[in-house]
Amino acid sequence: MKRFLTIISVALLATLMSCSQSKESKDKKKAAEISFVEAEHDFGNIEQASEATYTFVFKNTGKGDLLISNVQTSCGCTIPDWTREPVEKKRSGAVKVHYNTSVAGSFHKTITVYSNAINSPVTLKIKGTVVPKYNKPQKK
């Protein structure tokens, strides 16, 4: 009797596992996938107190609608803005970042994009060097 119950339990467990795996594979087939044209941007040398904005363009290469739920940056000096509405398959959206150039020096920052995509989260990078703004001497 114990052997019979063990066999039934194993068969039931195997059936449950196969059902959950097939549901998971079906979900992946319907899922969104986010693909960025570029994942890193180098601003090069930027003059202090100048504009430093870059737009990362992405495409939904999956089957379902893509929705970005949050974008986090590695510091408060980088401000993100992103496409808030769902992006249908084969359509594009954007994550725009603005870097505060008030402090001179080199920088390397990350932007983490969270979404309902199967490859979420995605990390983007910006880098560059803010060079001091020199005042030209005035003629007397």
Query: Is the CB of residue 60 less than 8 Å from the CB of residue 33?
Result: yes
Is this model's pTM higher than 0.85 or not?
Answer: no
Query: Is the CB of residue 71 less than 8 Å from the CB of residue 82?
Result: yes
Instruction: Provide CB contacts within 8 A for 109, sequence distance 6+.
Output: 73, 74, 75, 77, 78, 99, 125, 126, 127
Which tens digit of pLDDT belongs to each residue from 19-56?
A: 444 344 446 678 999 999 999 999 999 999 999 999 99
Given a cut of 50, whether residue 62 has pLDDT beyond it is yes
Closest Cα to residue 33, out of 138, 117, 89? 117
Lowest mean per-residue pLDDT among 5-9, 73-77, 120-124, 131-135: 5-9
Which tens digit of pLDDT belongs to each residue from 75-93?
A: 999 999 999 999 999 999 9
CA neighbours closer than 13 Å in the CB half-sphere of residue 62? 25
> What's the whole-number average pLDDT of the chain?
86
